[in-house]
Amino acid sequence: LDALRRGVDVVYQGRLEGGDGGWGGYPDFLIRVETPSALGAWSYEVVDAKLARVARGTALLQLLLYSDLLATVQGREPESVHLALGGGDGRIDARFRVVEYAAYYRAVRRDFESHAEAPPETYPEPVDHCRLCEWDGHCTARRRADDHLSQVAGITRGQRQRLIARDIPTMGALGGLPL
């Protein structure tokens, strides 16, 4: 923060924090631009370096979060965010005007925060990736303890869903059906 107030040309990996929601991060660079702000006759814009050769939406969302945090420090939203992409010579390859993406960023952030505050109910349904996952043992134990239908040999997710819709949610309930 002190470096921003002094008006240095570039800040490397400066920590940005937001008072609400615990947001924070370390943008690769904050570059000075000659646009007045609460800091003085200058303000800053975010530059991030990525190995990817093309700009991705996730990188843009990250930059927009940093810009949002930076706006609280300098009292104004940065005009642009920048990406230095892989395979280049280190120059800025992509520039995005914040105002053009701000509404989308705010919607994504709002949705994320609402899910974080009241996460939807989830269950460890078995999927192909389970055999590679470090949580597989935990999830398998939970399904066993819950008498989950996924333990029925050869049963598909669709079949399980149809049984649950008919109020047959467990192996015990399935086994108790008359023949």
Coil, helix or strand for 23?
A: coil
**Which structural domain, as residue segments, surrounds residue 87?**
2-117
For residue 122, tell me if it sits in a domain.
no
Give the mean pLDDT of 113-128.
88
More reliable by pLDDT, 120 or 143: 143
103 & 141 share domain: no
Listed in sequence order, the residues at least 6 apart from 128 whose beta carbon sits closer than 8 Å to its beta carbon are: none
Whether pLDDT at 142 is above 90: yes
Strand partners, 97: 80
For residue 69, tell me if it sits in a domain.
yes
Sheet with 94-97, strands from edge to edge, namely 10-12, 29-33, 43-49, 80-84, 94-97
Domain's final residue, options 95, 117, 139: 117
Question: Between helices 57-74 and 98-117, what is the axis angle to 10°?
Answer: 90
pLDDT band at 166 (very low <50, low <70, confident <90, very high): very high
pLDDT in tens, 69-92: 999 999 999 999 999 988 766 677
120: which DSSP letter?
P
CA–CA dist 125, 32 (Å, integer): 49
Whether pLDDT at 45 is above 90: yes
45: which DSSP letter?
E
